[in-house]
């Protein structure tokens, strides 16, 4: 009987040791609730897939003005704007979209036709210093990275492919 208790104690201590070792400290990411009017967000993924910009295409961007509650940006072809409402619990609604109606090359228009309906249907967001996730029913549908200003570059266009042609 003492042998069984001793074995049980060793097993319990072993499980406790494994349990303690398997707990890792989670990275602390400060969530924000309010948008900054000076920040422009660049689209990097739609529905979990990385966005690839065509050469010369304008970047898809979003900028939220918390004073006027106007969302504006570029859809890869046209400029857009809409009213929005948000709260400190991560809820977001985007009003009727308006914008320019230019015709663009097919890849640019394809990006716009994919982006705009997703933007119109978002109902939540998660915001950190470097990332913005726009959500539809809790699922990330649009992922943005904070754009860093670069005075030497044209921030609204995808870089040209300067590799030698074969």
Per-residue pLDDT of the chain (166 residues; tens, 9 = 90+): 445 444 444 333 343 343 333 333 344 445 566 899 999 999 999 999 999 999 999 999 999 999 999 999 999 999 999 999 999 899 999 999 999 999 999 999 999 999 999 999 999 999 998 999 999 999 999 999 999 765 544 445 555 554 444 4
Buried b (16+ CB within 10 A) or exposed e, 73-112: bbbbbbebbbebebeeebebebeeeebeeeebeebbbebb
Q: Tell me, what DSSP letter sits at residue 157?
A: B
What domains are defined for the chain? 41-146 (2.40.128.270)
Rg, Å, the chain Cα set: 23
pLDDT at 158: 54
pLDDT at 157: 52
Q: Write down the pTM of the prediction.
A: 0.72
């Amino acid at each position: 009987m003492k042998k069984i208790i001793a074995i049980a104690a060793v097993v319990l201590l072993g499980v406790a040791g494994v349990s303690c070792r398997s707990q890792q400290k989670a990275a602390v990411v400060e969530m924000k609730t309010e948008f900054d009017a000076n920040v422009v967000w660049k689209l990097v993924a739609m529905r979990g897939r990385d966005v690839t910009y065509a050469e010369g295409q304008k970047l898809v961007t979003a900028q939220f003005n918390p004073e006027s509650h106007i969302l504006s940006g570029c859809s890869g072809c046209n400029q857009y704007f809409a009213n929005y409402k948000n709260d400190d619990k991560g809820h977001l609604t985007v009003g009727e979209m308006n914008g320019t109606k230019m015709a663009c090359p097919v890849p640019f228009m394809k990006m716009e036709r994919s982006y705009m309906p997703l933007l119109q249907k978002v109902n939540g967001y998660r915001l950190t210093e470097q990332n913005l996730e726009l959500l539809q029913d809790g699922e990330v549908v649009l992922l943005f990275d904070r754009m860093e200003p670069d005075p030497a570059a044209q921030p609204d266009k995808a870089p040209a492919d300067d590799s030698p042609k074969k």
